[in-house]
Amino acid sequence: MDEAGKLGRILAENKIELIYGGGSIGIMGILADAVLENGGQVTGVIPKFLYDKEVGHNGLTNLVIVDTMHERKMKMAKLAEGFLALPGGIGTLEEIFEIFTWSQLSLIKYPVAFLNIGGYYDQLFSFLEHVEKEGFIRNHTHQLLIKLNKAEEVIKNMKSFSAPEEGLDLSKT
């Protein structure tokens, strides 16, 4: 929770708008509140069924209510210029891996990052190494991911990210 608060402050200080799932609870709610408390801008995108369950954040700069989870992801992807996963569950993994796949296919040219607070994603990164060793992804794929433990470092690296010009050679995957 502390690192999410720091991240929110850093985003606001750098005038980076937060685009996220629009919830008021959990780590993402803490992040959104921290951005707002530090004078930053926050856009939330939430499906109506989640908003109706009273998890929607009504204090945001902009709240977009959509019909489906798929529409939510598409809207966030269109609005964002970088993607960052904080510790989370299945939904977080599903969303960041879809974006990671788009990056690998050169459908997007924005940074994809993990804020690996307390080593939360260490086992996931080990699994990705296993996938590489088994020949299902090339080692160049890992170059597309930013994997850092501190909010300051991850934002600095995201700001300086440069996507490969030609994309990845998928013919040998």
Residue 165, in any domain of the structure: no
Tens of pLDDT, residues 52-66 = 987 899 999 999 999
Domain that holds residue 69: 1-80
Long-range contacts of 9-15 (CB under 8 A, 24+ apart): 9/34, 9/35, 9/38, 10/151, 10/152, 10/155, 11/35, 11/38, 11/40, 11/155, 12/36, 12/37, 12/38, 12/39, 12/40, 13/38, 13/40, 14/155, 14/159, 15/40
Tens of pLDDT, residues 70-125 = 999 999 999 999 999 999 999 999 999 999 999 988 899 999 999 999 999 999 99
What pLDDT band is residue 172 in, cutting at 50, 70 and 90? very low
Number of neighbouring beta carbons within 10 Å of residue 76: 21
Residue 164, in any domain of the structure: no
**pLDDT at residue 166 greater than cutoff 90:** no
pLDDT of residue 173: 43
Are 68 and 89 within one domain? no
Are 9 and 28 within one domain? yes
CATH number of the CATH domain containing 48 = 3.40.50.450
Count of structural domains within the chain: 2
